[in-house]
Structure 1
Amino acid sequence: MKMIHKETWVKYTALAFIVLLLPFTSVVPQERSLQLERIEFKGNTKTDESVLLRYLRLRPGDRVTADKVDRDWQALAATDFFKSVELYTRPGSRKGLVVLVVEVTERRWPYFQFEGGHSDLDGWYFVPFSLRFDNLFGKGHEWNFQAYLSDRFTRLGFNYHNPDLLSSSLAFDLQFYGGTRTFILYIDGQELNHDVDVGGIDMKLSGTEGIFRYLFLRYNNLNFSPARTAAFVDTDSVLTISLFPKKLAVQIEDTTIASLTAGIQIDRRDNVFYPMRGFWGVASAGLAHSELGSKIDFVRYRFDARIYQRIFRRHVLAFNVKAGSVSREAPFYQRFYLGGANSLRGYPERRLTPIGYGARHFLTSIEYRFPFSSRQTGTPGAVGVFFFDAGGLWNTDEKIDSDGLYRAFGFGLRLKIPIIGLTRIDFAFPLDKFEDNDFQLHFSLGHAF
């Protein structure tokens, strides 16, 4: 097999950083300059104004644009604290000044909610049942009992979020849950589903002000119970543990993994649903150790960076780099996969994943996004995409070679459908031969990144 030379990796790395840092030049029509004089609140008879301000980026003295007002509306509406949210401006005390009016209709009682969406790990998901007590006393606290269903994970749990722990600049998240995660395996070219029961506690501490708002610390203590059989997808038969590959069979035992993870997360996107400028990124390092209550010791690193730049009008160039590494002691359900709608497009779901999953992961994607509507505000209802993906997955005892890198290109549509949300359709063509695969049609929810 042909080895990739060190100089080639240097060039790939340099190219990734250049694209991440490249200050794309865009031609954007100049808007009339308006300055925010103050913010007025209406309808919040229960909710503290400090809770509303927590979700608004605009502050007195800032320049006001339609995109900034829409961004803050999205952030406030996404809390689901209110039955309705309206943000609008009116003239200020003199020319060039405006007042931002935030008008809400509050929820008075606990309520049931249905929701759906997309995540990198689980693909599509929906919540058929959620009993929520969010903002019950007007302090912005969230707690709910929830049933969560996705393509690969089913769970029941309790979630709690406190945005100002002990009236400080710290936020606290707590989860208790139990469920089953399904992992896709390929043995002798045949696809199988392998279930792993998981349950326990997950706690997260993060900052809300200054530089600390980018930092987080997470502790989880989870019990894992892999099934002793795996089901073939195309038939009704099952594979028992006695026929599992040895690399996988030795991991089929009940265990507890307790880990502590520290990380940094930055979100400077101008819009959550259709970002046209900005950056989102996360980098973390996790340690599972017996001193924390874990039965398996290992370390895990993760990096994910996304940059968005408007080219002209609402056409956007989006770039994503992901990388991860985990030590050889980690079980397969703590490792990485490759292939599919939420990974490297152009290949079947997780088809590029070795038995036992991978320990070193790299994936990069670039997309050119263009809405079909001429509207210059709001979230587009239909978006076209051209994309290119490249990535690889290796184990700790494998050398990185050219056969481990796979590439694909294609085009797609993003359609906003009532109730379902943003539906993603991708037509992907692999550039590297793998079995008889020459085309993949992917369906999912949300943007790829």
Structure 2
Amino acid sequence: MPALPTLCALALLAAAPGASPVPAPAVPAPAPAPAGGPEAGPLGRRYHLERIELRGLTHTREAEVRRHLLVAPGDVLDTERVLLSRLRLLQLGWFSRVETRVERGSERGLVVLVIEVTERNTLIVSDLVFGSTGPQPFYGGLGLSQQNFLGRGMGLSGAFVYGGSPSGRSDDPSRFALRGGFFAPDLTPRRLPPLVFGVSGQFLRGEELTCDDPGCEAYRSDYGRAPRIRYQRAAGEVTLGMRPGPFERLLATYRYERLHAAAIDDSPALAAARGPGPAILVGWSDLSALTGTYEIDTRDDFFFPTDGFRGVAQVTFGSALLGGDYEYSRYLLQLETAYALLGRRLRLQLAAGAAQGSAPFFERFYAADWSYFTVGPALGRALELNFSTDSRYDAVLGMAGLEYAVPLWSRGGFFHRGYLAIGARGVWSAARPGGGRTAVSDLPFSADLALRLDTPVGTFNASLGYALDNFL
């Protein structure tokens, strides 16, 4: 997963913290049912749901909540489907607590399922970015996300990063990035299965320093003299998808970008030091690509999950057949387990990626994004802007990591929950398939000690690894 782009590695993980493990619904006076099956009473009588009552809603529309339930009035009471419904509600990010219980119905054989929720603040900080590098003495940014717009379950998000003019070139254009999006996770058009829909836009103006040697003379004296590529990107995306299951999404995304890049050498004496530079066409160009994504997420809690996993498989194709100037393909596979591995409070993280053809640099892999820290000039990017002197983007990536969690507290108040994460991660990357490892840093391994906090305005991460990255 990408490194957190802040001086203290403060970043939000759009959280939906849950309550304690779910007890099975208490059915009035029946005999125990088989695990995961319908509840049966004496003499094999099965209980049916007379109605479902939702309690505790103040901002969220009741109809929006009911769409996510896996049970309905008239169904046979099924413990497993009730528990899965509770998990589904917690994953929405709208509630800090979801509890279920069963009460007697109006007549024998009928029961009432009561779902009691505690709503959480859904306008949260999604990015908090600030840092400093030699080429950019200070940069910072902020992101906000509304996860339940108008109580209808729609998502709105926006973020920016601003760095100003690069060091040594006060008259140059400022570097900045803007991003915004709208997402509807569950649309129910007539005669069609539930659909997922989203649109987003992005604008970036940045540059990449391109000295072939990380110890380039310009980096030791005056960054303004270093050869570089200045670029801007204006991008838009449209996503349409469906849910094969309650915890799965199958998405298709079309992306179009209008690009402009210019190679700049202010010092003829240093022009010979120019390396191959990031892959991008000089002048105006277009990118047109289709991306297919399969995602499954069965974790029981976003902040401190103890069961389940999250997996993402993604394939991207860019082609002149779609109206673009870049012919390439990109593949990415990610897996993340909950903090329950081999009976320990461990989380396993795996990622593998490859890019083929003439993929532009931002469709390749910047290894520092996937490390806790790097020993050398590379630094994790902020909203895809690179403020370091390292411009190596690779075609092949592999990452593996483990994290151990130490719960610290769980109580009310602003800092609702907190735990300590101790992690280690290894990153391998290569400039081309079959090539040797790119020496992104002197060490391919990194470690982290992070305090993670659950608050009403988001989940924050204070990382020692990222703080070290600014000095190594």
TM-score, scaled relative to structure 2 = 0.63
Q: Given that residues 328 and 359 in structure 1 are in contact (C-alpha distance below 8 angstroms), is that contact kept between their aligned partners in structure 2?
A: no
* Alpha-carbon distance between aligned partners in 2 of 1:366 and 1:411, rounded to the nearest angstrom: 12
C-alpha RMSD of the superposition = 5.0
Q: Given that residues 416 and 423 in structure 1 are in contact (C-alpha distance below 8 angstroms), is that contact kept between their aligned partners in structure 2?
A: no
Q: Compared with structure 1, are the counterparts of its residues 104 and 409 closer, same or farther at alpha carbon in structure 2 (3 Å cutoff)?
A: closer
Q: 1:331 aligns with which of 347, 352, 360?
A: 360
* 249-258 or 296-305, larger mean C-alpha shift: 249-258
Q: 1:127 aligns with which of 137, 140, 143?
A: 143
Q: Compared with structure 1, are the counterparts of its residues 295 and 53 closer, same or farther at alpha carbon in structure 2 (3 Å cutoff)?
A: same
* Alpha-carbon distance between aligned partners in 1 of 2:282 and 2:345, rounded to the nearest angstrom: 46
Task: Please tell me the residue identity of whatever aligns with 2:303.
Answer: F
Counterpart in the other structure of 1:441: 468
Structure that is richer in strand per residue: 1
Counterpart in the other structure of 1:173: 198
Q: 1:189 aligns with which of 214, 231, 242?
A: 214
Counterpart in the other structure of 1:350: 378
- Aligned: 1:265 with 2:295: yes
Counterpart in the other structure of 2:461: 423
Counterpart in the other structure of 1:411: 449
Give unpaired runs (5+ residues) of structure 2: 1-19, 28-48, 106-110, 130-138, 164-174, 381-388
Give unpaired runs (5+ residues) of structure 1: 1-28, 79-84, 108-112, 232-236, 429-439, 444-449
* Alpha-carbon distance between aligned partners in 2 of 1:252 and 1:238, rounded to the nearest angstrom: 19
Structural mapping, 1:86-165, within 5 Å: 87-89=98-100, 92-93=103-104, 99-102=114-117, 115-117=125-127, 126-127=142-143, 135-136=149-150, 140-142=153-155, 146-149=158-161, 154-155=177-178, 157=180, 159-161=182-184, 163-164=186-187
Deviation, structure 1 residue 156: 5.0
Deviation, structure 1 residue 409: 3.5
* 387-396 or 35-44, larger mean C-alpha shift: 35-44
* Alpha-carbon distance between aligned partners in 1 of 2:121 and 2:305, rounded to the nearest angstrom: 28
Identical aligned pairs, as a percentage? 20
Structural mapping, 1:231-270, within 5 Å: 244-248=274-278, 251-270=281-300
Q: Given that residues 426 and 446 in structure 2 are in contact (C-alpha distance below 8 angstroms), is that contact kept between their aligned partners in structure 1?
A: yes
- Aligned: 1:361 with 2:377: no
- Aligned: 1:223 with 2:244: no
Deviation, structure 1 residue 292: 0.6
The structure that has the greater radius of gyration is 2
Deviation, structure 1 residue 305: 0.9
User: With CA pairs under 8 Å and 6+ residues apart, which has the higher RCO, 1 or 2?
Assistant: 2
Counterpart in the other structure of 1:396: 432
Task: Please tell me the residue identity of whatever aligns with 1:215.
Answer: L
Structural mapping, 1:52-67, within 5 Å: 52-55=65-68, 61-62=78-79
* Alpha-carbon distance between aligned partners in 1 of 2:312 and 2:455, rounded to the nearest angstrom: 30
Deviation, structure 1 residue 386: 2.2
Counterpart in the other structure of 1:5: none
Partner deviation per Cα, 1:300-345 (whole Å, 9 max, x = no partner) = 11111111242699x62101111111114112222111126x5253
* Alpha-carbon distance between aligned partners in 2 of 1:327 and 1:441, rounded to the nearest angstrom: 33
TM-score, scaled relative to structure 1 = 0.66
Q: Compared with structure 1, are the counterparts of its residues 316 and 141 closer, same or farther at alpha carbon in structure 2 (3 Å cutoff)?
A: same
- Aligned: 1:200 with 2:235: yes
